[in-house]
Chains A and B, each alone.
Chain A
Amino acid sequence: MAKPQPPLKSPNGLLHGALDALILKTLSRGPKHGYAIARFIEETAGDALLIEDGSLYPALYRLERKAWVEAEWGTSELGRRAKLYRLTAAGREQLASEMATWKKFSSGVAKVFAT
């Protein structure tokens, strides 16, 4: 699994890992399709995290390959067939561990900045 990831564009240099974590967090509130995930991140983070819409999908496929999310066909608000992503148990664990790591990291950074 330690293969180099395909090059992805993320305008503000958002790390793959961070995007993955954001997706997992988003899905922790229930299954969503791609556009809904993008909207949720936009609305919560405001303009702080600008990502290209398309870059979301490789991240979703990557997460599915790792079995942290799974996909199923559902129906969108438009009444069309939509691919819905759902967090798996493994994904939930991964999210918890990433959030813990992030907390430690950010509080460390905050402490250094506070000096």
Chain B
Amino acid sequence: MKRSLRSWLWRVPLDQEFDEEIELHIEMRTRELVAGGMDPRSARAEAIRRMGDVAAFKRACVDLGKKRDREIRMTLWLEELRDDVRFAFRQLRTAPAFTLVATLTLALGIGANSAIFALVDATLLRPLPYPNPERLVTIWEKSTGTAKGFASPPNMLDWGARTRTFEKIAGFTPSVGQMVVAKPDGSAETMSRQWVTAGIFDVLGVPPIAGRTFTADDEQQRRRVIVFSEGLWESRFNRNPNIIGHEVKLDGELWTVVGVVPKDFEILGNTSMWAMRPFVNMPPRARAAYILQVVGRMKPGVAIDAARSDLEAVATGLSREFPDFNTARGVTLEPMHDTMVGSDLKTTSMLFLGVVGFVLLICCANVANLLLARATARTRELAVRSALGAGRRRIVRQLLTESVVLALIGGAMGIGVGAAILRIAPVFIPDGLLPGTVTLQFDMRVVAFCAIAAFVVGVLFGIAPAWQATSFSSPEVIGADSRTTTGGGGRMRSLLVVGEVATAVLLLFGAGLLLRTLMAVEAFDRGFKAQSVLSMLVDPLGSSYPTPEKLQGFFDQVEAEVRAVPGVQDVAWSSGVPLGDSLFGDYPQSYEIVGDPPVDEARKPRADYQVVSSTYFSTLDLAIVAGRGFDERDRRGSPRVAIVNEAFAKTLGGRDPIGMQVSFKPADSTSAKPTTVEIVGVAKQVKRRPDEPKDFVQMYSPLSQDLSDDMIILVRSQTGRASALTPSVRAAIAKIDRDQTVGVASVTTLEDVEWQATGRHRFRAVMVAAFAGLALLLAMVGVFGILAYSVQQRMRDFGVRRALGASSGDVIRLVAGNAIRVIAAGAVIGLVAAALTGRLIVSMLFGVQPLDFWTFALVTLVISVTAVASIAGPAWRAVRIDPAAVLRSK
């Protein structure tokens, strides 16, 4: 103990301490030598000589002394901390109800935050799991329609051949399709696969864990080669290395398995295998097939700006060489990490982070309130400690230790809450929101986040109560009756609750807007019925159908065969599905009405172009609002016709579209010959995306007059369960093509497409609503807390009032009055904040304005109802006070 006091009591600076010691030593030695007969002057010189190198010794001593003092202070600090922590635990044990409520509140807040942190960490913070990920860049093909379009294979190859800043460039198809895997017993199943170009594994730097990846030779030889994912290799082949070199029958063709790549690679698409698509000797029109997402690895030391100007120059060259296809087409570069994360995920993550941050603040306010109430009760204890010599700093530190201990317990429980949230969260996360197989995991980073959050939170909610609790004058407090010490804490507690209510209202408002968006998206009339329609991508592979007649024959036969399947109501072909991907990608047509004054190419209107069979409209229950649908008159060779949608018709300024001649050609192409068609009908408007801000302009062309070889077959079921038809429809297709050269892929129902398209709205709305509900609950617990406490404190007051004739109504008014002021202030502040900040989430809204009246009204209603609920209990208690009993009690 003496030792630990040293640094506090010993006020002499270290170097002075040393000098004094040495001086005394020299003096005493001098005296000794003088006593031995030396003259004083030489005695002192001798004494100094015998000291040795004093400067060196002084340095050593001051150094040692500094270390010693530091260690002493540290020990002292640790000892105090240990005492404080021990005392804190004892304090918390004496108030188990308080401890339970406070730690549970914190566990909820910290748990929710840790789960959202895991989401943000997995997506925004971590680099891509490839070597030197900063050198990976996504290269989009830029057109007048979009800055980030997919690239055509010939363009990708030319970029790779002409660039000076990239090591290598490769591509993959963004969507994951299905392949039919023939099993030895004759049955078949579908597995997900993704098309890639030969160099993709080299670009990403993924080495195979068995066998090899694709080579340029594979591509030149047009080999049918495939690479398995580690997951598939493990689950299906038990990591058997003999699978390498084996052939598997996929979509009726034999493919050679050349290698296996690690799980990390699945980030491109959540799939189990990658099939190489060779791009050699492509026909010229392939330059207009925008199907690849392209990624390049920059050479070491190249900045993305340099790569951008390099590729822009290459693209300019290509525009000159291929004016038919590449006019006005350029490139857009962005770091691959940005592509993988996507702006949608980024905004969603930031939204959630903000929301849970607010929830945590409310938790803090609640616990701070509990602490304030306790501090009031503990005023006497603290005053006594202060009177016994504990300084204010010391008491504040003790109280802060208590709150940090409380927060750390809450944080430890929060780890459990967060882990539980992460366990059930994947159910609610829509497909495609997270890139590839990014999994949410609860690892040390999240635990560390919890610990730091708990510590910060502990200081945050502890500091105000600690300060409050120590601002007293001890003689006054010790002498006073405990009932009169309700003082200033009350105002701070009310302010905290006002803040809580305001925050909860703000969150409720955000949740309301997102829920209204979800309702708008779901209730929106999309113009067609998605229920019980099965959709499959049919891809007649190979060269079995060289002529348009043969291809048409194939489509007709399949349609007839599928129509004969029991349970099938209608069958149609289409190049795209509403809300889903279009097989043509982003490929708008520019058009003009024949007979209208000519318009400059750049200013021509644009329309989306969809090829459908005549039964498309009946299959999707899509109404023809004017004119006729397609029928057997619209054959190959007969005059070309088209159906336009309502948005198209609206552009005509009131003229009747039926009978008009429209001339169109691919937008941005200078040399493509325009096609002229006659409008025979107007179809109802459909949505291409569920939250499209503007109706899009569309033209339909009959399949018979514009054949293409990849088509989606749409099958409407009579019974409703569309997916149940999958095997029989597939069998019917196989009947037509006995060699199984029909690749059936992308089996899904339109309901699934629809569900997925609205998934992110649902995810956001559900999550934010859940957190806002939690916030509201916590805020009302806060209101309830101060009310119950003040009723408790004013028992005697109420008793006297009742005794003097106050009615129940008077008492209720007294109790509720303050609460209503607090809630109203909070609600007004919250609504004003909501009105001011609503613009921040406008990009996530659809069909609702940030200042939506109904949301305002609904939030006000919700807050009023919950306010009444939280006031009712304490008010009831105050009414039931028995004046006689209270007055007798003291």
Residues of A participating in the B interface, judged by any CB pair closer than 8 Å: 6-9, 33-35, 38-39, 52-55, 57-58, 61-62, 64-65, 67, 70-71, 76-78, 80-83, 88
The answer for the CA separation of A83 and B54 in the assembled complex, in Å, is 18
Check B24–A54 contact: CB distance below 8 A: no
- B64 engages A58 (CB within 8 Å): yes
In angstroms, Cα B32 to Cα A77, docked, is 13
Query: Smallest CB-CB separation from B67: which chain A residue?
Result: A65
Residues of chain A lying within 8 A (CB to CB) of residue B56: 6-7, 9
A38 to B53, CA, bound (A): 16
- The reply to whether B21 and A57 form a contact with Cβ atoms under 8 Å apart is yes
**Contact B20–A54 (Cβ < 8 Å):** no
- Known contacts being A9-B52, A65-B71, A76-B28, is A83 close to B64, with CB within 8 Å? no
Give chain A nearest CB distance to B57 CB in angstroms: 4
Chain A residue nearest to B27 in the complex (CB): A78
Q: Please encode chain B, from 35 to 76, with 1 for each CB lying within 8 Å of some chain A CB and 0 for all others.
A: 000000000000100111110110111011101100100000
**B residues within 8 Å of A by Cβ?**
2-3, 6, 17-18, 20-22, 24-25, 27-29, 32, 47, 50-54, 56-57, 59-61, 63-65, 67-68, 71
- CB pair B6 A6 closer than 8 Å: no
In the complex, chain A residues whose CB is within 8 Å of the CB of B6: 70-71
> Of B3, B24, B47, B63, which contacts A70 at CB under 8 A?
B3
Q: A35-B28, A52-B51, A54-B51 are in contact. Are A61 and B65 (CB under 8 A)?
A: yes
| B63, A55: Cβ atoms closer than 8 Å | no
Q: Which residues of A contact B51 (CB under 8 A)?
A: 52-54
**B54 / chain A contacts, CB cutoff of 8 Å:** 54
Can you list 16 A-B pairs, Cβ within 8 angstroms, ordered by A? A6-B60, A7-B56, A8-B60, A33-B21, A33-B25, A52-B51, A53-B25, A53-B51, A54-B53, A55-B57, A57-B18, A62-B64, A64-B65, A65-B65, A65-B68, A76-B28
**Contacts A8-B60, A35-B28 known; A55 to B52 CB distance under 8 Å?**
yes
A76 x B60 contact (CB < 8 A):
no
Ranked nearest first, the 7 interchain pairs of A and B with the lowest CB-CB distance are A52-B52, A6-B60, A61-B64, A54-B52, A65-B68, A58-B60, A54-B57
Complex CA distance for A20 and B54, rounded to whole angstroms: 19
List chain B residues, Cβ under 8 A from A33: 21, 24-25
A78 to B28, CA, bound (A): 8
Complex contact A67–B3 (CB within 8 A): yes
- Minimum C-beta distance from A56 to chain B (A): 8
Report yes or no: A53 in contact with B61, Cβ–Cβ below 8 A: no
Total residue contacts A-B, CB cutoff 8 A: 84
For the residues of B in contact with A, the DSSP-based class is helix
Q: Determine the distance from Cα of A70 to Cα of B1 in the docked complex, in whole angstroms.
A: 12
| A11 CB to nearest chain B CB (Å) | 9
Asked whether A83 lies within 8 Å of B27 as measured between CB atoms, the reply is: no
Query: Is B61 within 8 A of A80, CB to CB?
Result: no
Q: Measured between C-beta atoms, what is the minimum distance from A108 to chain B in Å?
A: 33
Q: Select one of B25, B32, B47, B61 contacting A58, CB under 8 A.
A: B61
Q: Once bound together, how far apart are the Cα atoms of A83 and B18, in whole Å?
A: 9
Inter-subunit contact B64/A53 (CB<8 Å): no
Q: What residues on B are CB-neighbors of A77 within 8 Å? A: 28
In the complex, chain B residues whose CB is within 8 Å of the CB of A6 = 56, 59-60, 63-64
CA distance A34 to B65 in the complex (A): 16
Decide: B24 and A76 in contact? CB cutoff 8 A. yes
Q: Contacts A54-B52, A70-B6; is A61 near B24 (CB within 8 Å)?
A: no
- CB <8 Å contact, B50 and A61: no
CB distance from B70 to the nearest CB of A (A): 10
Contacts A6-B56, A53-B47, A58-B60 aside, 13 further interface pairs with beta carbons under 8 A come to A6-B64, A34-B21, A34-B24, A53-B50, A55-B57, A61-B68, A64-B68, A65-B65, A65-B67, A70-B6, A78-B27, A80-B24, A88-B3
B345 → A minimal CB distance (Å):
51
A4 to B71, CA, bound (A): 17
Which residues in B have their C-beta under 8 angstroms from that of A71?
6
The smallest C-beta distance from B864 to any residue of chain A, in angstroms, reads 67
Query: Which of B2, B18, B20 interacts with A81 by CB under 8 Å?
Result: B20
> What is the bound-complex CA distance between A1 and B126, given in angstroms?
39
Question: Who on chain A is nearest to B2 by CB?
Answer: A70
A45 to B558 CA separation, bound complex (whole angstroms): 115
With A and B bound together, what is the CA distance between A88 and B17 in angstroms?
21
Interchain CB contact under 8 A, B68 and A9: no
Taking the closest CB of chain A, its distance from the CB of B65, in whole angstroms, is: 6
Q: Verify A38–B25 contact, CB threshold 8 A.
A: yes
How far apart are A68's CB and chain B's nearest CB, in angstroms? 11
- Closest residue of A by beta carbon distance from B62: A61
* Residues of A contacting B63 in the complex (Cβ-Cβ under 8 angstroms): 6
**Which residues of A have CB within 8 Å of B28?**
35, 76-78
| Distance between Cα atoms of A34 and B27 in the complex (Å) | 12
